[in-house]
Amino acid sequence: MNAINRLATVISLATLFPLVVHAAESKGTVEVVHWWTSGGEAKSVNVLKQIVEKDGFTWQDSAVAGGGGAAAMTVLKTRAISGNPPSAAQIKGPDIQEWGKLDLLTNVDDVAKANKWDSLLPQTVADIMKYDGHYVAVPVNIHRINWLWINPVVLKKAGVAKAPTTLEELYAAGDKLKAAGFVAIAHGGQPWQDTTVFEDLVLSIMGADGYKKALIDNDEEALTSSKMTEVFAALRKLQSYMDPDGTGQDWNIEAAKVISGKAGMQIMGDWVKSEWTAAGKNAGTDYECVPFPGSQGIYTYTIDSLVMFKLSKKNDTPGNNAARDDLAKVALEPEFQYVFNQNKGSIPVIKGLDMSKFDSCAQASAKDFAEAEKAGTLEPSMAFNMSTSQAVQGAIFDVVSNFMSDKKADPSKAGKQMYTAIKAAAQ
Ligand code: GAL
């Protein structure tokens, strides 16, 4: 090889090499804290990861196990305080405002403007995602909470002719299931799961107005009413149908008992569908979804959203900012909204998507959402962070779970205890 050829080889290697490195190199990293760790939910979040990676960015997964997200919030607080926030974290409802006040969030207004979020999102949803008029979060879905999930084969075996529509029918189904040797209600005894049942009973016994007064306005009269005594008495009654092995159990482990035919029913938000879907089961045939008995016409919701944090000095690079913006952009694109929500069990948060691609439970959810919106019975879920601060929610969780664990607790005193606990927490 003569000198000129040698030089040419060196030059071409030098120009080639960076190219090779670049092709494999990521354009930036987005780190996301979330609590989607069950089989079905991990599959759902993987959809987002794959799209972000296809766009050339690195997804750093910081999942913290624990249904309802209490453990994830603890980790997030510690990280934020020590100046090491992730790029984005799953935070919902009024808490977004609390984080905003701490001056820890950044906005994605440019992405929102370029992608017309103001017209894509329902106004109420857009408002929740904004702090001080700026988009600091991107919503990904709408979950309905007040559902009852049923294994129809199990109900049939126990001689239950149809899905219960009233509390009386629910108790009757529970009696038959127990008598036939099944777990009547698969339920994990964790505060957030207990409170899900409590919240549903408030809807069922006190109606949408009573729910609003008690669990959104935290009104003393509603919380200490005789109707609230009825709610706690019904909670005690339902407890007698719950899985005797459910103490401290995760929701997805309990869901598996309904899927496998060991249990007949589960009271849970529609993320439980992610487990049925992951197990290859179909809505309407393998399982049924009906509104929680007595709460027909009311729709309690939670909206999962990813909140954007100001990056630490070390991580604040153009590439990482671009990665965060990419995440925000793809989260509201139809491609993601379809696939993610089909896996997750929720319905799309953007307007105008074709629901015929979804299963019968999702279609029912979308229809009931629209009807409840019109009727004024669309309510933010307390148990899933949409109606109160975390402190108030924590106080309610404590009262409900103490009531569940103390079998002698008096239903007529629990409402008063709840009011007092809420007052103390709200200060
Ligand atoms: C909720 C969340 C759902 C689901 C559920 C169980 O807070 O909105 O997406 O993850 O917790 O962990």
Q: How far apart are CA 152 and CA 287, in angstroms?
A: 6
419 half-sphere exposure, CB direction, 13 A CA radius: 16
Q: Tell me the fold of 144-301+359-426.
A: D-Maltodextrin-Binding Protein; domain 2 (3.40.190)
Nearest CA to ligand 1 atom 2: 68
DSSP string, 401-418: HHHHH-TT--HHHHHHHH
55 secondary structure, DSSP code: T
Tell me what the mean pLDDT of segment 301-330 comes to: 98
Domain boundaries in the chain? Answer: 27-140+304-357, 144-301+359-426
Percentage of residues in the chain with pLDDT exceeding 70?
Answer: 94
Question: At which residue do the structure tokens 């924590």 appear?
Answer: 394
Name the band, by pLDDT with cuts 50, 70 and 90, for residue 24. Answer: low
- Mean pLDDT over 245-274 rounds to 98
Report whether CATH 2.40.50.1070 matches the domain 27-140+304-357: no
Strand partners, 134: 131
- Determine the average pLDDT of the residues in 250-275: 98
Q: Ligand 1 in contact with 384 (CB < 6 A)? A: yes
Per-residue pLDDT tens over the stretch 254-263: 999 999 999 9
Q: Mean pLDDT, to the nearest integer, of 336-343?
A: 97
Burial environment of residue 13 by CB neighbours within 10 A (0 to 12, 13 to 18, 19 or more): exposed
Q: Side chain identity at 370, as an amino acid letter? A: A
Q: Tell me if 271 CB under 6 Å of ligand 1.
A: yes
Ligand 1 and 69: CB distance under 6 A: yes
Q: CA-CA distances (angstroms) from residue 272 to 162, 266, 381? A: 21, 9, 16
Best of 35, 45, 196, 277 to mutate for ligand 1, by most ligand atoms within 8 A of CB? 35
Please provide the average confidence, as pLDDT, over all residues in the chain: 95
What value does the mean pLDDT take over residues 153-182?
Answer: 98
As a whole number, mean pLDDT of residues 326-353 equals 97
Which ligand 1 atom is the nearest neighbour of the CA of 66? 12
pLDDT of residue 200: 99
Domains 27-140+304-357 and 144-301+359-426 fall in the same CATH topology:
yes
Helix segments in 88-225, DSSP class H: 95-101, 109-114, 117-120, 123-129, 152-157, 167-179, 191-211, 220-223
The response to whether residue 301 sits with its C-beta less than 6 Å from ligand 1 reads no
**Are 246 and 188 spatial neighbours (Cβ–Cβ below 8 Å)?**
yes
